[in-house]
Amino acid sequence: MSSGHYRRKSKEESFMETIGFIGTGVMGRSMAGHLLKAGHPVIVYNRTRSKAEDLLALGAKWEKRISQLARQSDVIITMVGYPKDVEEIYLGENGIVNHAREGSYIIDMTTSSPSLAKKIYEAAKAKGIHSLDAPVSGGDIGAREARLSIMVGGDRADFEAVMPILSLMGTNIVLQGAAGAGQHTKMCNQIVIASNMIGVCEAMAYAKKAGLNPEQVLQSISSGAAGSWSLSNLAPRMIAGNFEPGFYVKHFIKDMQIALDSAKEMGLLTPGLELAKSLYDTLAEQGYEECGTQVLYKLYESQG
């Protein structure tokens, strides 16, 4: 497909469009796997090839250069770590925008800067490339089960064109507005999670200190007014002492900083977000950057 809008091929047609997928970490691996299982030819790139081995075993093709991946793909999806990575991957000399085919679609699913999303959109538009920012929420579980919430910014026609692909990875997929709107929506998501995680950890620490059975406490409060995704999915991990990453502390700190910077630009005070960021900064200083966000519980556990 060299130009025009992406469309899902009918069963009678002999192939499906090729998808380039950059970033096969905790979540990206599962997301790319769903595309493969649906029948799409998938080309993968990751800085560490070993993190793509599962996908290669399923039939994905490895490409060692982003420029080469871009030239071969009809749709390119990125799921990487930081805005600096996104900028280099898309706007660098050997990046996607300089090498993707005219008429192709680029979808950044990284949580990144709204202003960078707009910059990528404008650069892509100048080259006849369709660009969407589409960050996700749902963690490793949502990625594994294809139940991600996907927040999209960009042109409606482009959103509708790639909806068949997005629907292979998520169930709650909403066009939020123009370029950058998806990233702004993800900031709203992260602001809610930041303060909520403090509440979840404090509740679990309180239950333990009061001599209650934490599992039974969860039975009572997780389906009531206090219910949240973090309470249902991460509190059990806290109780079990499981701090493996569904979402890394280092990436959450990055997200909170983006949200704080964006809020500051808009003149908005976010004291809850500032407190959460300071607590996670403490965790990072203690060496917990590579743990899951539920490791915040350790700050309360250490109180004795």
Instruction: List active site positions.
Output: 186
The number of angstroms, rounded, from the C-alpha of 174 to the middle of its chain's C-alpha atoms is 15
Whose tokens are 């704080």? That residue is 260
CA 295, CA 302: separation in Å to the nearest integer? 12
CA 250, CA 126: separation in Å to the nearest integer? 34
Number of Cβ atoms within 10 Å of the Cβ of 175: 20
CA 33, CA 191: separation in Å to the nearest integer? 29
Q: What is the CA radius of gyration of the chain?
A: 20
CA 39, CA 200: separation in Å to the nearest integer? 40
Assign 37 to helix, strand or coil.
helix
- The H-or-E segment that residue 130 falls in is strand 130-133
Number of Cβ atoms within 10 Å of the Cβ of 126: 9
Tokens of 24: 């096969």
Q: Per 3-state DSSP, what percentage of the chain is helix, strand, and coil (rounded to 5)?
A: 50, 15, 35
Tokens of 100: 């993707």
CA 173, CA 150: separation in Å to the nearest integer? 5
CA 35, CA 85: separation in Å to the nearest integer? 23
Taking alpha carbons only, the member of 25, 106, 91, 95 closest to residue 66 is 95
- The H-or-E segment that residue 253 falls in is helix 249-266
Tokens of 135: 């960050």
